[in-house]
A and B are shown apart, each in its own frame.
Chain A
Amino acid sequence: MKKILFVDDERQMQQFFLEGIKHFNIPFEVLVADNGDRALEIVRDEFISVVITDLKMSRMDGLTLLRTIKRDFPDIPVIIISAYGTDKIKDMAMKNGAVLFLEKPFAIEKLIGAINAVLKKESDGGTLHGITPGMFLQLIEMEEKTCTIRLVNPQTEEQGVLFFVDGNLYNARIAGSQGIEAAYEIFAWDNVLVTIQNSCQQKNNTINSDLQGILLEAMRRKDEQEEEDEIVWLDEEDEAPEEKDSQLTSSEKAVDLTSGEIRSLIENKLGREFMPEDITSDGSWDSVLNEMTKLGNILGAGNLKAGFVNTGSPVNYIILPGKRTKVLAMNRTCPCDNILELFSH
């Protein structure tokens, strides 16, 4: 859910906005701050989509807040509301990056309309569902696009934003973090919802690193995390052993490789061009492995070592039996024979 920050030191105005927005049944979460200082704290800790601020406030006025937000969080649109709407002030606000100046008093419909218009701009380049950031972002780099990409991780509902200028990643932001660390975090997400804005407010490059390197580091960190999770998972399994399917005899004998080991094996033996798009522990292939193990037993083929599957989807799969079946999603242009042979030895 998108978060809107409403900044005003007048309780009545806060109430007016909170009550007013309720009537529109809009899926926004509204956060409220009494002054600019508090507003900045919220902007740093939360993932805010729009800031609406009054100008005259005791601790950090609206104009300073606007300037700070535009300097540190240039993608966040700021709407100014004020009862002191002289031309000079309006002009100053707009020059400092405000998207709109609304004079108090105003009809709530007008403000809601402005918020909607601002948020609509965030997806003027389109919306994509179920994307794995890696390949998609490499396309952005290849096409040298200048855009702002907002991502939502459906598993955790975390939100993030990436700033691209001429295909270079200039900055990344998630709640509480900016720069390369935020990029590592975002690049490890799966099946994200992506909205593309065909412009980028970020002017300076805070990343200064190539996308491929960031992607590999993000994958390494993800694998490391998965391995840690796996250790916990296996420990739990030791405490309460489950009865295993008798069909999985070949899988039990197979040596489990971690995702990190799989990646380094591929990189060392075959090269980076053979690197999988994704490696997951996926039990949904176990029934195929069971049936192929059965067939292999009857035909005297011995233990099942590895499998390649093409289902006609955009990726091919290499399946490695083990205590937890590992599935490598491979780009269709990547020749899988070498990988299959590598893991069958």
Chain B
Amino acid sequence: MKKLFKDILAIDGVTGILLFSHQGRVIFQELVLPCKENPEQRDWRSLTTVIKNVSEADFIYENSRIYIKNSAAGHIMVLMELFTPVAMVRLSCDMVVPALKKKAGGSKGFMNFFKWK
């Protein structure tokens, strides 16, 4: 899974990637900077429920930016610095989505039960 996201992680300013399943579990996580709480240990169902119809989103915070892309496997969330070229992130995510679809299709639902490595 890390291999799949390596191009996104290599973009200057990207500080992390999270892949949330549609059921609200973190199925992949790579965070460069430490965070207050480990996202994996939370149930994110309320988040994935409210964004279930969102195909793409971009949220700007005081210190960071979170880009969201929906895929067959779940929602990809890219955490980045404010100066990060978001067009590049968007493009890289677009390229990852078909691979995730293949992976999700191939796993026949098993991705809902196992954490991807």
Which chain A residues have a beta carbon within 8 Å of chain B's beta carbons? Answer: 250, 287-288, 291-292, 294-312, 336-337, 340-341, 344
- Does A299 contact B39, Cβ atoms closer than 8 Å? yes
Whole-angstrom distance between the alpha carbons of A311 and B54 in the complex? 4
User: 12 more A-B contacts (CB under 8 A) besides A294-B47, A301-B66?
Assistant: A291-B50, A295-B39, A295-B66, A296-B59, A300-B63, A302-B64, A307-B60, A308-B58, A308-B59, A309-B54, A310-B54, A340-B58
- Complex: chain B residue closest to A285, CB-CB: B50
Counting contact residues on chain B (CB < 8 A from A), the size range is 20 to 34
- Complex: chain B residue closest to A305, CB-CB: B60
| Binary interface encoding of chain B residues 40-78 relative to chain A, with 1 for a CB under 8 A from any of its CBs, else 0 | 001010110011011111111111111000000000010
- Complex: chain A residue closest to B38, CB-CB: A298
Whole-angstrom distance between the alpha carbons of A236 and B79 in the complex? 40
Interface assignment of B117: CB less than 8 Å from any CB of chain A? no
Residues of B within 8 A of A288 (CB): 50-51, 54
Known: A287-B50, A295-B66. A302 touches B61 (CB 8 A): yes
Residues of A within 8 A of B37 (CB): 298
- Does B53 contact A297, Cβ atoms closer than 8 Å? no
Interface assignment of B35: CB less than 8 Å from any CB of chain A? yes
Q: Least Cβ distance of A328 to chain B in Å?
A: 14
Whole-angstrom distance between the alpha carbons of A302 and B61 in the complex? 6
Residues of A within 8 A of B64 (CB): 296, 299-302
- Does B62 contact A303, Cβ atoms closer than 8 Å? yes
Whole-angstrom distance between the alpha carbons of A307 and B60 in the complex? 6
- Complex: chain B residue closest to A337, CB-CB: B86
Residues of A within 8 A of B35 (CB): 298-300
- Does B47 contact A344, Cβ atoms closer than 8 Å? no
Residues of B within 8 A of A302 (CB): 61-64
Known: A288-B51, A292-B66, A337-B86. A344 touches B60 (CB 8 A): yes
- Does B36 contact A296, Cβ atoms closer than 8 Å? no
Residues of B within 8 A of A287 (CB): 46, 50
